């Protein structure tokens, strides 16, 4: 009586193992197809961007560590090959944007790192709470786009973040959180028209998962950045990179 029970038990174990293997193979195959599908979509988006003469910015993997403290003297920024750079922003008519703005980018450890530089003679910011109206202050607005989804992250000289998401060109949803972290450094005095300021810098880390990426070489995503400024004696002005006729796109190297 004992032998048959042992044989039955072994048969049951074999069946369970076979089912587990079958499920595992199925999951692996589905994961492979999903990965290939994502890669195919990324290649197609990049090919379309190139065909439209979009701005394609290659972002190096960071060659060292980065500490979010507002400085950009960490090995991740200073070691070779160096960060990807937007160069000068532009006005809507294509003229070089002023005051000077630039974004530098590297990636690693599950994050996209951005250094947002703003030359500024009069640093103005009065929004002190996250998800406040930063569009009224001096601020950068970074927008990532993939398919019909847009992810917007606005950041002020005080490293206050307002982030939102929208689908299919609909209404922006400010309940979404990017999980981005930002630090600041400035040379000047906030909200003081009587002195001459010089510049401000934001160092920011954006989790890849929040913008629909895995953080792998070859991935790409639409990218545009907009900066507005209030000079001492002139009307508020804005300039950008990756907007208007030449859209921007990031590629992870």
pLDDT of residue 53: 60
User: Per-residue confidence at 1, pLDDT binned at 50, 70, 90?
Assistant: very low
CA angle 184, 181, 174 (to 5 degrees): 110
Task: Give the pLDDT confidence of 8-59 residue by residue, as tens digits.
Answer: 555 655 554 554 455 555 555 554 454 455 555 556 666 665 566 689 999 9
Write down the pTM of the prediction: 0.82
Strand bridging mode 84-85 / 161-167 = unpaired
Beta bridge partners of 155: 140, 161
Task: Give the pLDDT confidence of 166-190 residue by residue, as tens digits.
Answer: 999 999 999 999 999 999 999 999 9
The answer to whether 155 touches 161, Cβ cutoff 8 Å, is yes
């Amino acid at each position: 009586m004992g032998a048959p029970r042992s044989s039955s038990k072994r048969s049951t174990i074999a069946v369970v193992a076979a089912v587990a293997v079958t499920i595992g193979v199925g999951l692996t195959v589905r994961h492979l197809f999903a990965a290939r599908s994502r890669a195919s979509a990324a290649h197609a988006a990049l090919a379309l961007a190139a065909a439209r003469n979009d701005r394609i910015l290659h972002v190096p993997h960071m060659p060292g560590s980065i500490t979010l403290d507002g400085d950009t003297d960490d090995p991740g920024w200073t070691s070779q090959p160096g960060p990807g750079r937007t160069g000068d922003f532009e006005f809507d008519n294509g003229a070089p944007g002023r005051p000077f703005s630039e974004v530098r980018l590297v990636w690693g450890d599950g994050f996209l790192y951005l250094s947002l530089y703003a030359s500024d003679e009069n640093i103005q910011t009065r929004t002190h709470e996250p998800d406040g109206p930063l569009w009224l202050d001096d601020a950068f607005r970074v927008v990532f786009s993939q398919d019909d989804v847009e992810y917007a992250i606005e950041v002020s000289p005080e490293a206050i973040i307002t982030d939102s998401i929208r689908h299919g060109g609909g209404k922006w949803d400010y309940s979404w959180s990017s999980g981005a972290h930002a630090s600041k450094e400035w040379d000047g005095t906030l909200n003081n028209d009587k002195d001459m300021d010089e510049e401000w810098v934001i160092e920011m880390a954006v989790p890849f998962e929040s913008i629909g990426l895995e953080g792998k070489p070859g991935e790409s995503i639409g990218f545009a950045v907009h900066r507005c400024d209030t000079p001492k004696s002139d009307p508020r002005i804005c300039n950008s990179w990756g907007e208007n006729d030449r859209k921007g796109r990031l590629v992870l190297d």
